[in-house]
Structure 1
Amino acid sequence: MSAPATTTMTPLGALTRGRKRRGGGFFAAPSGWISVAVLGVFVLTAVVGPMVIERPGGLGTDILQPPSTQHWFGTDDLGQDVFAQVVWGSRVSLIVGVAASLIAIVIGTAVGLTGAYVRRLDPIVTTLTDVMLSLPLLPLMILVTALAGPSVATLTIVIGVLSWAEVARLIRSNALVVSSMPYIDSARVLGAGAPRIISTEILPAVVPLIVVSVLLQAARAVISEAGLSFLGMGDPSSWSWGRILLNAQRSGVISTAWWQTLFPSLAILVLVLAATIAGIRYNDSRDPRTRAA
Structure 2
Amino acid sequence: MSAPTETPAAAVKPSPMSSLKRFVAKPSGALSLAALVVFALTGLIGPLFVDKPGGLGTDILQPPSAEHWFGTDDLGQDVLAQVIWGTRISLTVGVAASAIAIVIGTALGLLGAYVKRADTWVTMVTDLMLSLPLLPLMIIVTAMVGPSVTTLTFVIGLFSWPEVTRLIRSNGMVVVAMPYIDGARALGATGWRIVTRDVLPAVVPLIVVSVLLTAAKAVISEAGLSFLGLGDPDSWSWGRIMLNAQRSGVISTAWWQTLFPSLAILLLVLSATVAGVRFNDSRDPRLKDR
TM-score, normalised to structure 2, is 0.92
Out of 63, 66, 69, which is 1:69 matched to? 66
Return the alpha-carbon distance in structure 2 between the equivalents of residues 183 and 24 of structure 1.
30
- State the Cα RMSD in Å: 1.2
Alignment of 1:129 with 2:129, yes or no, is no
- Structure 1: where are the runs of 5+ without partners? 1-21
| In 2: Cα distance, 1:24 partner to 1:151 partner | 41
- Report runs of 4+ in structure 1 exceeding 3 Å deviation: none
| Aligned CA distance change for structure 1 residues 23 and 66 (closer, same or farther; 3 Å) | closer
Could you tell me whether the CA contact under 8 Å between 1:108 and 1:168 is conserved in 2?
yes
Question: Aligned AA for 1:147?
Answer: M
**Residue type of the alignment partner of 2:206:** L
**Which amino acid counterpart does residue 37 of structure 1 have in structure 2?**
A
Pair 1:181-2:178 in alignment: yes
How far apart in 2 are the matches of 1:46 and 1:191? 49
Q: How does 1:147-162 map to 2 (within 5 A)?
A: 147-162=144-159
CA displacement at 1:32 relative to structure 2: 1.0
Q: For residue 30 of structure 1, report the CA deviation from its aligned partner.
A: 1.1
**Structure 2: gaps of 5 or more residues:** 1-18
For residues 112-142 of structure 1, the C-alpha deviation after alignment (integer angstroms, 9 at most, x for no partner) is: 0000000011000000000000110000000
Read off the aligned partner of 1:121 and give its amino acid letter.
A
Distance 1:95 1:103 in 2: 12
| Cα distance in structure 1, aligned partners of 2:38 and 2:283 | 25
Distance 1:288 1:152 in 2: 41
Match of 2:6 in 1: none
Does structure 1 residue 94 correspond to structure 2 residue 91? yes
Residue 52 of structure 2: aligned partner:
55
The CA deviation string for residues 153-202 of structure 1, in whole angstroms up to 9 with x for no partner, is 00000000110000000000000010000000011111111111100000
Cα 1:241/1:188, change in 2 over 3 Å: same
Show the counterpart of 2:34. Answer: 37
Aligned to 2:54, the other structure's residue is in SS state: coil
Verify: 1:256 aligned to 2:253, yes or no: yes
Q: Distance in 1 between matches of 2:63 and 2:20?
A: 47
Corresponding residue of 2:79: 82
Change (3 A) 1:23 1:131: closer
Query: Quick check: 1:145–1:233 contact (8 Å CA) kept in 2?
Result: yes
Structure having the higher Rg = 1
- The percentage of aligned residue pairs carrying the same residue is 73
CA contact (8 A) 1:72 1:83 kept: yes
CA distance in 2, matches of 1:127, 1:283: 28
Gap change, CA 1:216 and 1:23, over 3 Å in 2: closer
2: CA distance between counterparts of 1:210 and 1:31? 20
Distance 1:136 1:153 in 2: 22
Per the normalisation by structure 1, the TM-score is 0.91
Among 211, 215, 219, the residue aligned to 1:218: 215
Matched, 1:265 2:262: yes
